[in-house]
Amino acid sequence: MTPPGIPLDATPGAERSTDPYLPEHGNGGYRVLHYDLDLDYRVVSNRLTGRAVVTARAVQPLSRFSLDLARLSVRDVRVDGRPAKFDHRAGKLRIKPERPIGYGATFKTEIRYAGKPGPVSGRWGEIGWDELSDGVLVASQPNGSPSWFPCNDRPDDKASFLVTLTVASAYTVLVTGDLVSRRRGAGTTTWVYEREEPTSPYLMSVQIGRYEMVELASGPVPQRAAITPRLRGVLRHDFGRHGEIMAAMQRLFGPYPFREYVVVVADDDLDDPVEAQGMAVFGRNHLDGRRTHERLAAHELAHQWFGNSLTVADWRHIWLNEGFATYAEWLWSGASGGPSTNAHAARWHAWLSTYPADVVVADPGVDRMFDPLVYKRGALTLHALRAKLGEQVFFSLLRSWVAEHRHRTVTTAQFREHAARYTTGSLDELFSEWLDRPALPPLPRIL
């Protein structure tokens, strides 16, 4: 390890992120192709030992580069099998390989690390690897991934993953991906998951608990839940219509983009559920036997299309995740016999009118990116577009948007350009009113 205070020779721009909201996270000098993580975790002592092999391609000549890793201690770094100098401070692992890496070259970085993982602290609270009363929950949006593995922590750097995790055999392990193997050892079990679809680091998740697996719904898309036995009955009721939600969303948005969908219900209370790739995580407080939180089930499922398969290029565009998932709640409500989308639009338009009009949805700023105003006004933007284009054209637009950008990153400008293909008129004023200006436009209504 390079002693503190001794700089590693820098390639200009090699460590700069292009995300204007989280410039301290990510590196612009390369793109990750694949993460191979081999982890051993002791639940009782909260001890994680890891080996990460990060395969990347340089998009500029690199004499050094960085990865994001918080809290944990780095023991050794090798680049293409050769020992590399490194400096690990303030969540940044800065690496100087023995030989410079040329533009376009593919290279492998091996990092051995260990320690007591914990969430990343910041303006949104504690994000990332978090101990439960008996197990672990990982929810990393937007910047918690470095709490458990070294990564290029930016939403637009999507890669494939292979995650091997060994824990005590009393626990079930769920990782976002397809279960490849499960090997029983002397008191431990090694779980191997593969995520072939390009995935942003923040959408990778680990869940460890004394869970049993149950079927949520039958159908072409496997839908399962990980839950503690005492919550099984209430889950059966509260998620009893999940197969119908899945079918409705596939009709509206197109085929489900992953092989399966897993709902994890932690045996702890959580403020909000959170999405991961092919997975959503709820707290036990989201089950009450009355389907009070069914809208959240619809919201998190919708994120598999909007946010996970289609991922924002940077966090300015978060309405493309949250506005779409919020509108999906309204669509499911209308389809299931609840209040119509018009009723939801009227309710939330009235709510928005009581607050200062001080958020620009297309670029809300880092302090407001999770503001409810972004969610609700983003949904109203879609409602206004639907009212303008009509039912058939609007949903054709959504399905083609999803299909054409499957497993890629997206921006607001791309969505505007895509929508423009579906009308001979101009949508510029509609989008400017709803996305670019803080003043609240009049309530749109679908006839």
Q: How far is CA 406 from CA 114, 277, 305, 314, in A?
A: 35, 13, 8, 17
Residue identified by tokens 């950008």 is 405
Is 299 marked within a binding site?
Answer: yes
Whether the CB-CB separation of 205 and 138 falls below 8 Å is answered with: yes
| Three-state SS sequence of 217-243 | ECCCCCEEEEECHHHHHHHHHHCCCHH
Active site residue 300: yes
What is the distance between the alpha carbons of residues 406 and 306, in angstroms, rounded to a whole number? 10
What is the distance between the alpha carbons of residues 110 and 101, in angstroms, rounded to a whole number? 15
Task: Give me the catalytic one of 375, 391, 404, 433.
Answer: 375
CA 11 to chain centre: 30
Task: Give me the catalytic one of 300, 417, 429, 433.
Answer: 300
Whether the CB-CB separation of 32 and 77 falls below 8 Å is answered with: no
Is 88 marked within a binding site?
Answer: no
| Secondary structure tally for the chain: helices H, strands E | 9, 23
Quote the tokens at residue 346: 């009227």
What phi and psi, each to the nearest 5 degrees, are found at residue 377?
A: -70, -30
What is the distance between the alpha carbons of residues 251 and 230, in angstroms, rounded to a whole number? 34
> Which residues lie closer than 8 Å to 81 by C-beta, 6 or more apart?
108, 110
What is the distance between the alpha carbons of residues 204 and 163, in angstroms, rounded to a whole number? 10
Quote the tokens at residue 344: 């939801």
Is 407 marked within a binding site?
Answer: no
> Tell me, what DSSP letter sits at residue 153?
-
Quote the tokens at residue 52: 């990460």
Q: Is 292 exposed, middle or buried (0-12, 13-18, 19+ CB in 10 A)?
A: exposed
Residues identified as active-site: 300, 375
Residue ranges at the known binding site: 299, 303, 322
Residue ranges at the known binding site for Zn(2+): 299, 303, 322
